[in-house]
Amino acid sequence: MATKEINMTKMTERTAIKVSIVSIFVNVALTIFKLLAGVIGKSGAMISDAVHSASDIFSTVIVIIGVKLSAKDSDEEHPYGHERMESVAAIILAAILALTAVGIGESGITKIISGDYGGLSVPGAVALIAAIVSMVVKEAMYWYTKINAKKINSGALMADAWHHRSDALSSVGAFAGILGARLGFPVLDPIASVVICLFIAKTAISIFKDAIDKMVDKSCDKETEERISEAALRQEGVIGIYSLKTRMFGNRIYVDIEITADKDESLEEAHKIADKVHDEIEKEFSEVKHIMVHVNPG
Angle at 187 between CA 185 and CA 192, to 5 degrees: 110
Distance CA 192, CA 104 (A): 10
Residue 75 has, within 13 A of its CA and on its CB side, a CA count of 7
Q: Which amino acid is at 188?
A: L
Same-domain status, 39 and 97: yes
Answer with the one of 215, 237, 272 that is the final residue of a domain: 215
Helix axes 155-182, 188-215, angle to 10 degrees: 170
Quick one: 241 exposed, middle or buried, by C-beta within 10 A (0-12, 13-18, 19+)? middle
Same-domain status, 276 and 162: no
Q: Which amino acid is at 221?
A: D
Q: How many H-runs (helices) and E-runs (strands) does the chain carry?
A: 8, 3
Q: What total of structural domains would you count in the chain?
A: 2
Instruction: Per-residue pLDDT tens, the chain, 298 aa: give them.
Output: 455 555 556 677 788 888 889 989 998 999 999 899 888 888 877 887 787 778 778 778 877 877 777 777 777 777 666 777 877 888 887 888 788 788 778 877 887 887 665 555 667 788 888 889 989 998 999 999 999 988 877 777 887 888 788 778 778 877 887 788 788 777 777 787 787 788 778 878 888 887 887 777 788 888 999 999 999 999 999 999 999 999 887 667 889 999 999 988 898 999 999 999 999 998 888 788 889 999 998 7
Same-domain status, 176 and 28: yes
Please, are residues 265 and 248 in contact by the beta-carbon 8 Å criterion? no
Q: What is the pLDDT of residue 7?
A: 57
Same-domain status, 177 and 287: no
Same-domain status, 209 and 243: no
Q: pTM for the whole thing?
A: 0.61
Answer with the one of 181, 215, 249 that is the final residue of a domain: 215
Q: Give the 3-state secondary structure of residue 242.
A: strand
Same-domain status, 202 and 88: yes
Same-domain status, 197 and 226: no
Same-domain status, 44 and 172: yes
CATH code for the domain in which residue 48 is found: 1.20.1510.10
Same-domain status, 260 and 210: no
Helix ranges (DSSP H) in 153-266:
155-182, 188-215, 222-233
Quick one: 65 exposed, middle or buried, by C-beta within 10 A (0-12, 13-18, 19+)? middle
Same-domain status, 203 and 228: no
Domain that holds residue 230: 222-297
Distance CA 41, CA 247 (A): 51
Name the CA radius of gyration of the chain, rounded.
Answer: 25
Q: Give the 3-state secondary structure of residue 234.
A: coil
Answer with the one of 157, 190, 215 that is the final residue of a domain: 215
CATH code for the domain in which residue 275 is found: 3.30.70.1350
Handedness of CA 15, 17, 22, 24 (dihedral sign): positive
Same-domain status, 165 and 275: no
Same-domain status, 23 and 164: yes
